């Protein structure tokens, strides 16, 4: 993969559009990205990663990629041209971002993230052009990963080499190394394989358990089915016992033996069933014959009894036939007799109704004739009409009463309002004076607020100065004491120094004599002979003693000068503080300040309440004007209500006299109209009832005459005799049917007594059906039992045959399942490192990761030896990590071998430069292995981020030699660093310059430096 051109716009620290020509920059194969800290060197790498994968390295969110320096109208976008897998591609990517919009309610709208991928092709005439490949995130991601052969994590580790991460990887423990390697080499499939093997072993165990359980269940069912056979008498000692559950293969012989016994029991049951069927048929035939004989004997006895009963009934037949004849003649008169009865009832009801209707009438109309009743009805109708005509006057009378009541209420309310307003107006002068005085007090207090503020400021300054004065007073006393002590110390050290100097001068001859040597001239007389040199006094001070005493004196004098200067400074500050504070004590100033602050708060509260008080006074004055007007209006309403009430009362009195005459004894006209209507209705009812009673009497006379004539013709002298002979038609029909039925029964019984079978059964002994039924029941029970035994034997033989067949099938599955489970369990235990067969004590994924780490270490050592003059080698170790629990090993240990001394040590013991060299070699080795693992495609462009500042001159030269080797095969290597030495060694550079309004890029190619 080769980078050609990068364009960033409003991205990260770059406010506007910046471009990088990697073809020109990497023309020498090695280039440098340099700039100040925070300028945006790493943002170039972020832009490359974002263009390819839509995200940046690490966990930074994509919605924070836009430059804070960029103009609001400039959209953030990245354009990257690169070559990979024989294709030249261009990708344009824009993150999700907000932009100004006049249509949006908030003034800003959000544009979703977009991506466009193009591929460069050639036209027929040889010109290059860009053809679109995809324009959505999913398709673009697939195209990028297919072209590069690397995921985003792999790309960030093998193309953008993060030295800090690999230094951490170098020193980290096996657990942290496993996280990175698992992500880069996608070894999750080995975890899945290990889990699959474990699940496969469990599934095989479950299948084996299922077959074993099925065999045990089949044995249990065979034992249940053959249960009665196991308890039969005659079972020999050679009978096989039930197999143990741990030996399922022994179930088959035992089951076959039980099946043979079941076949024998089945044959015996069939013979018993056939014998009981014959006995049951014979008992059934005898029971049928006994039932028939008993029935014939019963019929013969019943026929003789019926003959005697028919003879008893024949004695009453003449009387019954006479009553039947009279009843049939009277039945012909039934309609006429019913009519006479019905008209008599109607006449009685009509007379009762007329009597009831007259009882509802007034006493003067109860005994009058129908014409008189009609006249009274007409009079009531006329009086009702007059009352109905006066209904509007009654309604008006009521309305006048309501109006008068309403006027009285209004007059009362007006008087109450008038009284309230007059009381308020009476209290107004005092209320106005109270609020006016309060307002004046508040105004005066508000005017004093500035003076109080000035007093508080002045007192605060005085109090601060007084507190400083008091503090400085104590310090000044202490400083004066210190100055006195330092002066005494300076005098004492000076005295000691001068005394020591004087003593040295007194013994100077002895000091000079100590310096004399034979042949050396004396520094005083010049003689080389020293016959009697002076002797040093025992306590003779030396030059060092004098110089030391002098030094102590000078130090003490300096301390005295410093203490004096400090005291003078404190005295000056104290004088200034005293002048500012005055003579007043601090406590008194504090009390004055508290008093002024209290007065200030009161004045502020009064000033704050002043607008409210002014508003209240204005409102009260407005209310005074309003109540004055309300008082006048209330007085006018009282006068008006009194005048209208008087007029309406006169109209109401006139209507009351007219209505009283029309009502009579009733309370209202409606009651009077109701009373007249009710009386008129009673008169009309009485008239109708009298007419209906007369009509009913006429119809009853006609019916009686017709019925009497017809009864004489039918042979009845009177209607009472005809009525007495009249019978219920059903009873007459019953008598007729009884006579007819007797004749029929007489003929049937006579023929029945002549039947031969009854004549033959009569003389025989009585039959016993119960004994025959009991014998039949016993035979049926025996037949049912033998049939049930035969069915049970059938079921047992069938069940045992089916179970043995199933048993054979499941036994055929047992051996393959046992072999499959043994193989799966062995593989799973080896992959999970739970068996001693796994001699490495490493799980499958750990083994693969260890192999990958070993490959990385081998690849890294090629460059590490070149960068360290063949001193260091990375050693992969599979030893168990310190502190790791259990027997499992990670296989991800790394140690450093010093070939100069032949000793191994921990990677954490490397120095800073050695750590950088080892981590760089490790990063390059990892890049080689990951690239080979992912796609095997060469990496044309490589970036190395920081760490060169920890190298000395020799190490830096060795690292640069290795980087020069990386350029082989047309590979470009970019170094991200701000080390000055690299800027002198690498001619091609991209300078990232930091400004207040955003960073810019400046490429420096060879001579541009």
| Distance in angstroms (rounded) separating the CA atoms of residues 632 and 437 | 30
Helix (H) / strand (E) containing 1002: strand 1000-1004
Helix (H) / strand (E) containing 117: strand 114-122
Give the least confident one: 186-190, 360-364, 714-718: 186-190
The closest of 459, 460, 462, 550 to 504, measured between CA atoms, is 550
Q: pLDDT tens-digit profile of 691-729?
A: 888 888 888 888 888 878 887 887 778 777 777 777 777
The whole-number pLDDT of residue 442 equals 81
Strand duo 128-134 + 87-94: pairing? unpaired
DSSP string for 381-409 = HHHHHHHHHTHHHHHHHHHHHHHHHHHHH
Contact between residue 876 and residue 857 where contact means Cβ atoms under 8 Å apart: yes
HEC string of 863-884 equals HHHHHCCCCEEEEEECCCCCCC
Across the range 145-152, mean pLDDT stands at: 80
Does 84 score more than 80 pLDDT?
Answer: yes
Across the range 604-628, mean pLDDT stands at: 84
Across the range 453-473, mean pLDDT stands at: 84
Across the range 454-466, mean pLDDT stands at: 84
Q: Which residue has the higher pLDDT, 958 or 885?
A: 958
Collapsing DSSP to helix, strand or coil, 269 comes out as helix
Q: pLDDT tens-digit profile of 568-596?
A: 888 888 888 888 777 788 888 888 888 88
pLDDT band at 237 (very low <50, low <70, confident <90, very high): very low
Contact between residue 888 and residue 878 where contact means Cβ atoms under 8 Å apart: no
The whole-number pLDDT of residue 513 equals 67
Across the range 459-463, mean pLDDT stands at: 83
Residue 176 CB: number of other CB atoms within 10 A? 13
The whole-number pLDDT of residue 1008 equals 47
Highest mean pLDDT among 58-67, 89-98, 176-185 belongs to 89-98
Across the range 872-877, mean pLDDT stands at: 82
DSSP string for 939-993 = -SEEEEES-GGG--HHHHHHHHHHHHHHTTTT-EEEEE---HHHHHH---EEEEE
What mean pLDDT value characterizes the chain? 79
DSSP string for 172-197 = S-HHHHHHHHHHHHTTHHHHHHHHHH
Q: Name the percent of the chain lying above pLDDT 70.
A: 87
Phi-psi region of 742 (alpha: psi -120 to 50; beta: other; left: phi over 0): alpha
Contact between residue 702 and residue 406 where contact means Cβ atoms under 8 Å apart: no
Does 447 score more than 90 pLDDT?
Answer: no
Residue 77 CB: number of other CB atoms within 10 A? 19
Does 914 score more than 80 pLDDT?
Answer: no
The whole-number pLDDT of residue 116 equals 94
pLDDT band at 7 (very low <50, low <70, confident <90, very high): very high
Across the range 494-502, mean pLDDT stands at: 84
Contact between residue 76 and residue 66 where contact means Cβ atoms under 8 Å apart: yes
Across the range 225-231, mean pLDDT stands at: 67
pLDDT band at 741 (very low <50, low <70, confident <90, very high): confident
Does 235 score more than 60 pLDDT?
Answer: no
Task: Say which residue the tokens 């048993």 belong to.
Answer: 807
Does 91 score more than 90 pLDDT?
Answer: yes
The whole-number pLDDT of residue 19 equals 93
The whole-number pLDDT of residue 98 equals 84
| Distance in angstroms (rounded) separating the CA atoms of residues 215 and 807 | 7
Strand duo 97-100 + 160-162: pairing? unpaired
| Distance in angstroms (rounded) separating the CA atoms of residues 857 and 320 | 138
Q: State both tokens at 899.
A: 């070939």
Across the range 730-757, mean pLDDT stands at: 77
| pTM, rounded to two decimals | 0.41
The closest of 874, 869, 848 to 859, measured between CA atoms, is 874
Q: What are phi and psi of 58, to 5 degrees?
A: 85, -150
Q: Which residue has the higher pLDDT, 542 or 478?
A: 478
Does 77 score more than 90 pLDDT?
Answer: yes
pLDDT band at 18 (very low <50, low <70, confident <90, very high): very high
The whole-number pLDDT of residue 115 equals 93
Helix (H) / strand (E) containing 115: strand 114-122
Across the range 851-860, mean pLDDT stands at: 80
The whole-number pLDDT of residue 162 equals 59
Collapsing DSSP to helix, strand or coil, 504 comes out as helix
pLDDT band at 959 (very low <50, low <70, confident <90, very high): low
Q: Which residue has the higher pLDDT, 1006 or 278?
A: 278
| Distance in angstroms (rounded) separating the CA atoms of residues 160 and 45 | 7
CA 52 to chain centre: 37
Q: pLDDT tens-digit profile of 386-440?
A: 777 777 877 777 888 888 888 888 888 888 888 888 888 888 888 888 888 888 8
Helix (H) / strand (E) containing 921: helix 912-934
931 Cβ contact partners less than 8 Å away, ≥ 6 residues apart: 149, 150, 158, 937, 938, 939
841 Cβ contact partners less than 8 Å away, ≥ 6 residues apart: 833, 880, 887, 888, 889
The closest of 155, 18, 136, 118 to 78, measured between CA atoms, is 18
Compute the CA torsion angle 287, 292, 293, 297 (nearest 10 deg): 140
Q: Which residue has the higher pLDDT, 87 or 880?
A: 87
The whole-number pLDDT of residue 169 equals 66
Give the least confident one: 654-663, 741-750, 885-894, 921-930: 885-894
Collapsing DSSP to helix, strand or coil, 19 comes out as strand
């Amino acid at each position: 993969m080769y980078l050609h051109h990068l364009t960033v716009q409003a991205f990260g620290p770059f406010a506007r559009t910046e471009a990088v020509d990697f073809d020109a920059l990497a023309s020498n194969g090695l280039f440098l990205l340099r700039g100040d800290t925070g300028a945006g060197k790493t943002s170039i790498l972020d832009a490359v990663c974002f263009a390819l994968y839509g995200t940046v390295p690490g966990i930074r969110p994509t919605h924070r990629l836009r430059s804070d320096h960029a103009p609001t109208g400039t959209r953030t976008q990245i354009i990257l041209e690169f070559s990979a897998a024989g294709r030249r591609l261009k990708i344009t990517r824009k993150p999700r971002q907000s932009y100004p919009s006049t249509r949006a309610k908030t003034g800003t709208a959000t544009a979703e993230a977009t991506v466009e991928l193009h591929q460069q092709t050639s036209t027929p005439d040889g010109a290059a052009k860009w053809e679109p490949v995809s324009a959505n995130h999913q398709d673009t991601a697939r195209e990028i990963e297919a072209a590069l052969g690397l995921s985003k994590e792999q790309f960030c580790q093998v193309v953008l080499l993060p030295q800090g991460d690999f230094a951490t990887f170098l020193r980290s423990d096996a657990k942290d190394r496993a996280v990175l390697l698992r992500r880069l080499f996608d070894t999750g499939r080995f975890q899945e394989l290990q889990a699959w093997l474990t699940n496969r072993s469990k599934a095989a165990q479950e299948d084996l358990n299922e077959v074993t359980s099925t065999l045990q269940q089949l044995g249990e069912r065979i034992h249940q089915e053959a249960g009665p056979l196991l308890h039969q008498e005659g079972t020999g000692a050679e009978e096989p016992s039930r197999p143990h559950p741990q030996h399922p293969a022994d179930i088959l012989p035992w089951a076959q033996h039980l099946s043979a016994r079941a076949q024998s029991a089945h044959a015996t049951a069939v013979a018993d069933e056939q014998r009981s069927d014959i006995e049951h048929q014979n008992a059934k035939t005898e029971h049928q014959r006994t039932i028939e004989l008993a029935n014939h004997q019963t019929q013969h006895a019943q026929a003789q009894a019926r003959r005697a009963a028919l003879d008893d009934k024949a004695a009453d037949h003449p009387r019954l036939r006479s009553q039947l004849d009279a009843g049939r003649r009277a039945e012909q008169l039934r309609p006429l007799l019913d009519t006479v009865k019905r008209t008599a009832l109607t006449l009685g009801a009509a007379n009762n109704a007329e009597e009831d209707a007259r009882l509802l009438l007034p006493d003067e109309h109860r005994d009058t004739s129908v014409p008189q009743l009609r006249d009274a009805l007409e009079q009531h109708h006329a009086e009702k009409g007059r009352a109905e005509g006066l209904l509007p006057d009654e309604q008006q009378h009521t309305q006048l009463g309501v109006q008068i009541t309403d006027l009285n209420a209004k007059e009362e309310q007006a008087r109450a309002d008038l009284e309230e307003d007059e009381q308020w107006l009476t209290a107004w002068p005092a209320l106005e004076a109270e609020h006016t005085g309060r307002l004046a007090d508040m105004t005066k207090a508000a005017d004093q607020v500035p003076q109080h503020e000035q007093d508080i400021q002045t007192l605060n300054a005085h109090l601060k100065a007084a507190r400083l004065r008091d503090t400085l007073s104590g310090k000044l006393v202490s400083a004066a004491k210190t100055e006195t002590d330092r002066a005494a110390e300076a005098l004492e050290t000076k005295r000691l120094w001068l005394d020591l100097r004087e003593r040295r001068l007194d013994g100077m001859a002895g000091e000079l004599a100590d310096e004399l040597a034979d042949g050396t001239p004396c520094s005083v007389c010049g003689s080389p002979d020293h016959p009697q040199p002076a002797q040093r006094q025992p306590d003779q001070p030396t030059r060092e003693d004098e110089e030391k005493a002098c030094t102590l004196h000078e130090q003490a004098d300096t301390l005295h000068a410093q203490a004096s200067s400090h005291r003078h400074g404190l005295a000056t500050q104290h004088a200034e503080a005293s002048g500012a504070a005055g003579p007043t004590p601090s406590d008194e100033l504090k009390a004055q300040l508290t008093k002024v602050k209290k007065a200030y708060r009161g004045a502020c509260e009064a000033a704050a309440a002043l607008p409210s008080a002014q508003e209240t006074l204005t409102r009260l004055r407005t209310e005074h004007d309003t109540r004055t007007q309300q008082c006048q209006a209330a007085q006018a309403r009282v006068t008006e209500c009194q005048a209208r009430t008087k007029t309406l009362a006169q109209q109401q009195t006139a209507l009351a006299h007219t209505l009283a005459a029309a009502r009579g004894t009733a309370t209202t006209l409606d009651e009077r109209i109701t009373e007249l209507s009710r009386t008129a209705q009673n008169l009309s009812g009485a008239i109708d009832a009298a007419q209906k009673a007369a009509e009913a009497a006429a119809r009853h006379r006609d019916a009686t005459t017709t019925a009497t004539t017809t009864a004489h013709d039918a042979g009845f002298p009177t209607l009472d005799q005809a009525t007495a002979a009249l019978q219920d038609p059903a009873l007459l029909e019953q008598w007729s049917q009884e006579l007819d039925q007797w004749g029929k029964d007489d003929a049937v019984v006579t023929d029945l007594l002549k039947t031969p079978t009854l004549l033959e059964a009569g003389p025989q002994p009585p039959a016993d059906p119960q004994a025959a039924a009991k014998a039949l029941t016993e035979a049926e029970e025996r037949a049912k039992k033998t049939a049930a035994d035969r069915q049970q034997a059938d079921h047992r033989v069938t069940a045992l045959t089916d179970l043995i067949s199933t048993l054979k099938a499941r036994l055929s599955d047992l051996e393959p399942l046992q072999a499959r489970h043994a193989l799966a369990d062995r593989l799973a235990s080896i992959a999970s490192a739970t068996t001693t067969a796994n001699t490495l004590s490493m799980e499958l994924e750990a083994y693969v990761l260890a192999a990958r780490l070993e490959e990385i270490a081998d690849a890294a050592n090629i460059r590490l030896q070149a960068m360290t003059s063949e001193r260091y080698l990375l050693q992969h170790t599979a030893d168990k990590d310190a502190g790791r629990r259990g027997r499992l090993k990670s296989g991800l240990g790394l140690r450093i071998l010093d070939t100069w001394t032949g000793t191994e040590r921990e990677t954490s013991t490397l120095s800073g430069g050695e750590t950088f060299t080892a981590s760089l070699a490790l990063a390059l080795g990892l890049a080689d292995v990951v690239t080979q693992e992912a796609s095997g495609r060469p990496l044309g462009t490589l970036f190395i981020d920081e760490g060169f500042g920890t190298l000395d001159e020799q190490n830096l030269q060795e690292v640069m030699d290795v980087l020069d080797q990386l350029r082989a095969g047309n590979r470009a290597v970019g170094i991200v660093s701000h080390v000055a030495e690299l800027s002198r060694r690498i001619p091609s550079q991209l300078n990232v310059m930091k400004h207040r309004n955003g960073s810019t890029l400046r490429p420096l190619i060879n001579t541009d430096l």
